[in-house]
Amino acid sequence: MQNSKWNRGVAVVGVGLSKFGAFPDKNSRDLFVEAYLDLIGTFKEFDPKRIEAFYLGNFSSDQFEKQAHLAPILSSWVGLSPIPAVRVEDACASSGVALRQAALSIASGEYDVVLVGGVEKMTDLEIAAVTEALATAADMQFEVTAGFTFPGFYAAMATAYMSEYNAQREAFYHVSIKNHNNGALNEKAQFGQTIKSIMESKIERAAQKGRPVPEWQDEIDFLSDPKGNPLIAWPMTLFDCSPVSDGAAVALLVSEEIADQFTDTPIYFIGSGQASDGALPERETLSRIPAATQAAARAYQMAGLSPQDIDLAEVHDCFTIAEIIATEDLGFFERGQGWQAAIQGKTARNGEQPVNTSGGLKSKGHPVGATGIGQLVEIWKQLNGLAGDRQAFGDLRIGLTHNVGGTGQTCVVNIFERRA
């Protein structure tokens, strides 16, 4: 924290995650309890009375569940009342921003121990209603009135990117394949299958039913075929899009000096930045997200680090193009090089710059308000060598999370360090 202005340091001393997926029998309360119990299970001893405040990232239980004012409801539900409970909303960046607010509240001196969570229960609505609710994260006056919903926005970004850098569509497929490969090793992921296994089971099913058997040679072949992978909004196909998900994630934050009272494996906030932007029509180009670059610049500056110092990152791959742009916005690759890096496997789990070892939003799932803290959960596990079969190689010390809201109206970047 070479250039931190924070009055004191903040550590993450534990994390918890619900299973991500579609759960007709679970609401936000159930999902939150599942994540909270997962957190508590990581401690030998745990006294909830030490928790002094609760921050919740949630996009719109207002629309998804007809329940606003969710923060005190959830904190009361797990017995934490009367501690202050604050909901933070910045669309799909809600819990990344909540995480930053929770950290600032400790840096202020007001609290020593803060619980921060994120939750979204999206699958109760019909898919058209989900798309409509998600569209309210964009600018309803200047973006949505142009006829776009989110797949369209990111398709437009993908088109701009391809045009500007002569990028090949295959790069998007490589992102999808990689993230499914990682997610297949994550027991909490919504999609536990690799693209290869999805392809093979489709071939098998066709054979069983006596239908013409598709002659896909490999995953790229499969993803390039609209029969295997239907188009959503050109050039974004089904396997370029993250799913609609239910899920919750939590983390326990404490002031740096008391971290060792809670765990032997803390990780520390060493950088944090947030930025905002107007609607897409105001931007010079659609091939980048300026708020991401600005948030990252602040986070790097606070940490005294450069992109090359980041051992691994969880980035906001709501669509495959978003991951490629993120790897450039974050400075991992030069502008226009991200798509080639994806094809070359540089962002693979054991590539030179691992990205989304968790499976990312694409495969792990994207319960929007839970995503930011879900990213932290992966960084915590990887830095502490707790990621099991998907553990990335090497001495991992620095991890980064990149969480985007709307069409890039919000971005928050947090950087964490393992010191032990």
Q: Which residues are catalytic?
A: 92, 366
* CB contact set of 399 (below 8 Å; sequence gap of 6+): 267, 310, 311, 312, 313, 314, 379, 382, 383, 415, 416
- Residues 276-315: x/- map of binding to a copy of itself (CB under 8 A)? xxxx--x-------xx--x---------------------
# chain residues binding a copy of itself, by CB under 8 A: 61
Assigned token pair, 29:
């309360």
For residues 376 and 413, the answer to whether their CB atoms sit within 8 Å is: no
| CA–CA distance, 117 with 110 (Å, rounded to integer) | 19
Cβ distance to a copy of itself smaller for residue 87 or 178: 87
| Smallest separation, CB 349 to a copy of itself (Å) | 32
Please identify, using beta-carbon distances, which residue of 276 and 337 lies nearer to a copy of itself. Answer: 276
Residues contacting residue 252 through CB under 8 Å, at least 6 positions apart: 12, 13, 14, 15, 39, 51, 113, 114, 115, 116, 262
Single-letter code of the amino acid located at 188: K
Q: Which is nearer to a copy of itself, 171 or 292 (CB)?
A: 292
> What is the pattern of x (binds a copy of itself, CB under 8 A) and - over residues 61-90?
-xx-xxxxx-xxx-xxx---xxxxxxxxxx
Q: How far apart are CA 419 and CA 417, in angstroms?
A: 6
- For the stretch 43-46, contacts whose Cβ atoms lie closer than 8 Å and that sit 24 or more positions apart, written own/partner, are 43/14, 43/262, 43/263
Provide the 8-state DSSP code for 20.
P
Q: Which stretch binds a copy of itself (CB under 8 A): 18-26, 107-115, 155-163, 173-181?
A: 107-115
Min CB(261)–a copy of itself separation in Å: 18
Q: According to CB under 8 A, which residues from 350 to 409 bind a copy of itself?
A: 405-406, 409
In this structure, the chain runs to a length of 420
Minimum gap (Å) between residue 92 Cβ and a copy of itself: 9
Residues 128 to 147 in contact with a copy of itself, rule: CB under 8 A: 136-141
Non-local CB neighbours of 215 within 8 Å, separated by 6+ positions: none
Please say which residue, 257 or 264, places its beta carbon nearer to a copy of itself.
257
Q: Minimum distance between the CB of residue 5 and a copy of itself, rounded to whole angstroms?
A: 5
Q: Which of 39, 51, 91, 413 binds a copy of itself (CB under 8 A)?
A: 91
Q: Which two tokens stand for residue 305?
A: 């680090």
> Among 119-127, 145-153, 197-205, 272-280, which window interacts with a copy of itself (CB under 8 A)?
272-280
Q: From the CB of 218, what's the least distance to a copy of itself, in Å?
A: 39
Contact present, 363 and 319 (Cβ < 8 Å): no
User: Taking CB under 8 A as the criterion, which residues in 231-270 touch a copy of itself?
Assistant: none
- Residues linked to residue 183 through DSSP beta bridges, in sequence order: none
Q: How far is the CB of 286 from a copy of itself (least distance, A)?
A: 17
| CA atoms 335, 100, 58, 277: torsion sign | negative
Verify binding: residue 49, a copy of itself, rule CB under 8 A.
no
Point out which residues bind a copy of itself (CB under 8 A): 5-8, 29, 54, 59-60, 62-63, 65-69, 71-73, 75-77, 81-91, 97, 101, 104-105, 107-110, 136-141, 274-279, 282, 290-291, 294, 405-406, 409-410, 412
